[in-house]
Structure 1
Amino acid sequence: MKPVLIVGSGISGLSTAFWLHKEEIPCEVIDVKDHPGGLIATEKTPFGPAEKAANGFMAAAEMCSLCDEIGVELASRKPARKNRYIFRKRPRKWPLSFRETLQFLKGIFLKIFRPSKFNEMLQGQTVEDWAEGRFGPSTVQWLVAPALQGIYAGNVRRMSASLVLKGLLEKRSRKGVNVRGTLAPKGGMGDLVTKLYDWLLKRGVSFRFSTSFDQIDSSKYSAVVIATSAFDLEKLHQVDSRIPRLQVEGLPLVTATLFFENENYHIDGFGCLFPQKEGFYGLGVLFNSSVFEGRVASKKASRSETWILGGAFRKDICRFSDDELLRQIQEDRKRLYQVEDVGKPLHMEVTRWPQALPHLNVDLEKQLSEMQVGRGVYMSGNYLGRIGLSQIVARNKMLALQIKKELS
């Protein structure tokens, strides 16, 4: 059998190669970059690890199976991780008033007693419109919008309900999974990439870095999997017309991981999200050292936070210098902790992604519904509607099974 060519060695490409190998389908991976991983990487600092993008992944059957297979040791989780906050005048575990909660419960009752009605989504319907119809505007403003901007960095007034919510509402298999919530490798997310890459190399999967698609004779392959960013599709289409072109709005993100020593103020929990109405500069903050063990070098720092900035509401975020970002973060920290003197961090690690995520808006939904993919080409990427790592890995398992069926 001719091998399958995978274009892109981010988590989409690597996990596709993993599942294809499990199905005994030979594959090769190319990437224009000189290393695997895409957005996923961990910077090891003297004060502790700093993630450049995702800080963890949801416990799901396919992801846990992959981690077990490649030998990823998971970080021990702290009890405080269960505390999640949304800011409404102050950090709150539940941001809705009593009356707003009653309206929210009406939506939950609809989900329980009329699930088909609850899950119904119209073509072109926005997240805001869908959620307001079930939970009311206050739930959207104080719960749905901040939660989704923390995941997708988008604007619920433009985000597609179908692209964003269908994956979240699907029941996921938990067979063989005895944990819940967010998991992460002990050594940081970069270890997931390293372990997966090494596992594939040892099993004969070929990688060619600093190699573009136009340097490859695709006729030598039984199929081509496009596992690149959505922003690369236009160039790839010019090389091979079987590959669809998409006009995708990119959302910029900045992650800033700060390390502190001996703070008298802090919040123990997973993190805190900031609704737009509250006027924070950031989208949210992760309290790394309250979630997983080993997120600070104990002799040098006692606390680590990762601030997430940018998205649909701050598209100029990547233009700001480190000093400007720190000033804005410190102002947000004063409001969050309700103190005037928040001190200076021991260290700050900043990563800028001018096009970190595709905006999963209704325009993209329309393009995907009309997208035509040529014979022998398969698509894998977060622009298809599932951004979470566990969802991407699960989708690529199904993709590998589809390829096996169609090639047999």
Structure 2
Amino acid sequence: MNKVLIIGGGISGLTVAYWLQKNGLDVTLFEKDMRPGGSIRTEKEEGYLIECGPNSTLDIYKEVDDLCNELGIINEKIFTNSGTKNRYVIRDGRLRPLPTGPFQFLTTDLWSIKGKIRLFGEPFVSKYSGTSDESIADFVRRRAGQEFLDYAIDPFVTGVFAGDPTRLSIKSCFPKMYSLEKEYGSLVKGAMFGRKKKEGPKRKMRLVSFRDGLQTIPDTISKALGDRFIKGCSITSVKRTGDEFEVTSEKNRVSMTFRTNKVVIATPAWVTANIIHPISELAASYLMDIEYIPVAIVFTGFNKKSITRNLDGFGFLIPSKESKLRGYNLLGSIWSSVIFQGRAPEDMVAFTNMLGGARDTEILEYKDPELIDMTLKDLKNILNIEDKPEFIRIIRQPRAIPQYTLGHQERINTIKMELINIPGLYLAGNYINGVSVGHCIAEATKLAKKISTGY
């Protein structure tokens, strides 16, 4: 039987479905919403292009290019505008660019002389000798010092996970960093000698999106799938009957039951837990342990005349230490129309401002006017913007980003061991081992190959 049922029309489920049907398998994908993409959602309003989920992805995954070539959208890719090389971090209430090279590192005032000396000592720090999972904060503090944690890694974690580095696992969140210490005993040594071992052409570390936003990928895949993509359809149960799965769906109050020997569940962890609970209570319980955090986005459009400083970067991130010292509410701000073309009308500037995350898990309790006031107050203090925005859009994400907390890899390993006893059941999604769009596409591509070939 070559029939595969896929539950969940986010980027992972869509990618698996596309490659499976390309390889000749009979695919049906069920999505409860009326649109494809899951957390990817691009909307256009009054000349603005608004990313309601992820804004971009890193152009480091060959699998993304392979998919885009197959879909015929490779020429729709756009890269960051010239003149946006700076990434700003707030320190002492001021925007300070992250250093991009050795000279900038020596001259930057983002870290003190004492902090730089501590960082220079990183190659001489002993390897971690413990056996328990280590947090990002403990790992970085041990290897590079508190200041580097506060004003480099903490804001970086905010930008990727909107999370708390004291609770997130270094092994799960940043496996390459973890491996450098394991293999070379030092991040600096690993960065130096690891480059020599890499094979193949080096890809530029740059951000990428599409002219019409990230929604371009899921929209194009759903069109390619045609009637094999069933939207507005909920899965009410998945049962194991012998060597087959019995999947019951409901659309427009009409139930249908399908039988297959292969099921891919590409829904968020808590949804997946509810679906597979009748099949594996143990796997379901571990899936329910995976935390998600809320994020509020206040998208603002200002007249260019309101901006007095030069916007020469990607935006800024606010370290948690600065938030505590100065009462900032923002996690950071992405200068959307500065980074990519076509994100705002010609005479306007678009910012994607983020609040909440692990720093304020009650963020969605605030009403719209309160979220707007918080945002404008911080933008005024940081960018000296006195005028009101001419356009505002608020997006609320109750469960925005999965958190790879301590013990995450062990939880995932336990789930994988359970799946060995349930042949034909596969899981996919950003809660497993990578939250970015590019990583999800890469992992889904590998999963499709595994299902198609059997290994």
Do both proteins adopt the same fold according to a TM-score greater than 0.5, normalized to the shorter chain?
Answer: yes
In the alignment, what sits opposite 2:8? Answer: 8
Return the alpha-carbon distance in structure 2 between the equivalents of residues 220 and 99 of structure 1. 65
Q: Per-residue displacement from partner, 1:210-266 (whole Å, max 9, x unpaired)?
A: 221427824722311110001212311234338821222220011121001122324
| Structure of higher CA gyration radius | 2
Which whole-Å CA distance do the structure 1 matches of 2:369 and 2:47 have between them? Answer: 19
2:95 counterpart (91, 95, 118): 91
Is 2:425 the partner of 1:377? yes
Q: Kindly state the Cα deviation for residue 133 of structure 1 after the two structures are TM-superposed.
A: 2.0
Q: 2:116 aligns with which of 101, 122, 141?
A: 101
CA RMSD of aligned residues (A): 2.7
Out of 215-224 and 76-85, give the one that drifted further.
215-224
Residue 296 of structure 1 is aligned with which of 335, 344, 349? 344
Q: Aligned pair in 2 of structure 1 residues 151, 26: CA closer, same or farther (>3 Å)?
A: same
* SS, match of residue 383 in structure 1: coil
What corresponds to 1:265 in structure 2? 308
Q: Does 1:139 align with 2:148?
A: yes
Q: CA deviation at 1:21?
A: 3.1
- In 2 relative to 1, CA 37–293 (structure 1 residues): closer, same or farther, beyond 3 Å? same
Secondary structure of 1:86's counterpart equals strand
1:231 aligns with 2:243: no
Aligned to 1:335: 381
Q: Which moved more, 1:191-200 or 1:284-293?
A: 191-200
Query: Which residue in the other structure is 1:196 paired with?
Result: 221
Aligned to 1:244: 283
State the SS of the aligned residue for 1:352. strand
Partner Cα separation in structure 2 for residue 102 and residue 257 of structure 1: 40
Structure 2 CA distance for partners of 1:106 and 1:21, relative to 1, 3 Å: farther
Could you tell me whether the CA contact under 8 Å between 1:272 and 1:286 is conserved in 2?
yes
Greater mean deviation of Cα atoms: 33-42 or 146-155: 33-42
1:217 aligns with 2:232: no
Aligned-pair CA distance for 1:361: 0.3
Contact 2:364–2:398 under 8 Å retained in 1:
yes
Deviation at 1:146, TM superposition (A): 0.8
| Greater mean deviation of Cα atoms: 80-89 or 238-247 | 238-247
- Rounded Cα–Cα distance in structure 1 between residues aligned with 2:339 and 2:148: 26
Give the TM-score, by structure 1 length.
0.89
> 2:333–2:351: 8 Å Cα contact kept in structure 1?
yes
Distance (Å, rounded) in 1 between the aligned partners of 2:200 and 2:25: 25
Are the counterparts in 2 of residues 123 and 162 from structure 1 also a CA contact under 8 Å? no
Aligned partner of 1:68 in structure 2 is 69
- Structure 1 position 96, deviation (Å): 2.0
Q: Distance in 2 between matches of 1:352 and 1:174?
A: 42
**Residues 327-369 of structure 1, C-alpha deviation per residue, up to 9 Å, x if partnerless?**
10111112211x3x52111111111011112221014344223
For 1:150, the equivalent position in structure 2 comes to: 159
Distance 2:202 2:42 in 1: 26
1:281 is aligned, of 310, 329, 333, to: 329
Per-residue deviation at 1:40? Answer: 0.7
- For structure 1, the 5+ residue unaligned runs are none
Structure 1's 265 and 368: CA in aligned 2 closer, same or farther, altered over 3 A? Answer: same
The 8 Å contact of residues 170 and 178 in structure 2, kept in 1 or not, is answered as no
How far 1:268 moved relative to its partner?
2.0
CA contact (8 A) 2:89 2:316 kept: yes
Q: Which amino acid aligns with 1:276?
A: S
2:68 maps to a residue whose letter is: C
Deviates more, 1:15-24 or 1:318-327: 15-24
Change (3 A) 1:342 1:76: same
Hey, what's the Cα distance between the residues in 2 that align with 1:331 and 1:364? 37
Aligned to 2:212: 187
Asked if structure 1 preserves the Cα contact closer than 8 Å seen for 2:277 and 2:283, the reply is: no
- SS of structure 2 residue aligned to 1:400: helix
Matched residue SS, 1:81: coil
Which of 80, 90, 108 in structure 1 is aligned with 2:83?
Answer: 80
AA at the equivalent of 1:195: T
Q: Is the 8 A contact 2:79 2:206 kept in 1?
A: no
In the alignment, residue 70 of structure 1 is paired with which amino acid?
A: L
Cα distance in 2 for partners of 1:169, 1:198 equals: 40
Aligned partners of 1:102, 1:390: CA distance in 2, in Å? 36
Contact 2:356 2:363 in 1 (8 A): yes
Aligned to 2:363, which of 317, 320, 335? Answer: 317
Q: Normalization by structure 2: what TM-score?
A: 0.80
Aligned length: 395
Q: Percent identity?
A: 26
Distance 1:121 1:273, change over 3 A: farther
> After alignment, is 385-394 or 62-71 more displaced?
62-71
| Residues 168 and 389 of structure 1, relative CA distance in 2, 3 Å threshold | farther
Q: What pairs with 1:36-47 in structure 2 (closer than 5 Å)?
A: 36-47=36-47
SS of structure 1 residue aligned to 2:78: coil
Residue type matched to 1:141 in 2?
A: D
Q: Is the 8 A contact 1:3 1:223 kept in 2?
A: yes
2:186 corresponds to which residue? Answer: none
State the distance in 2 between where 1:142 and 1:128 align: 12
Question: Where in structure 2 are the equivalents of 1:378-393 lying within 5 Å?
Answer: 378-393=426-441
Cα deviations across residues 83-104 of structure 1 (Å, max 9, x unaligned)?
1111112111132223323333
For residue 255 of structure 1, the aligned residue among 297, 314, 330 is 297
Q: Are residues 289 and 174 of structure 1, via their aligned partners in 2, closer, same or farther at CA, if it must alter by over 3 Å?
A: farther
Bigger fraction of residues in strand: 2
Q: Is the 8 A contact 2:222 2:229 kept in 1?
A: no
CA deviation profile, 1:30-50 (whole Å, cap 9, x unmatched): 122232111111110113111
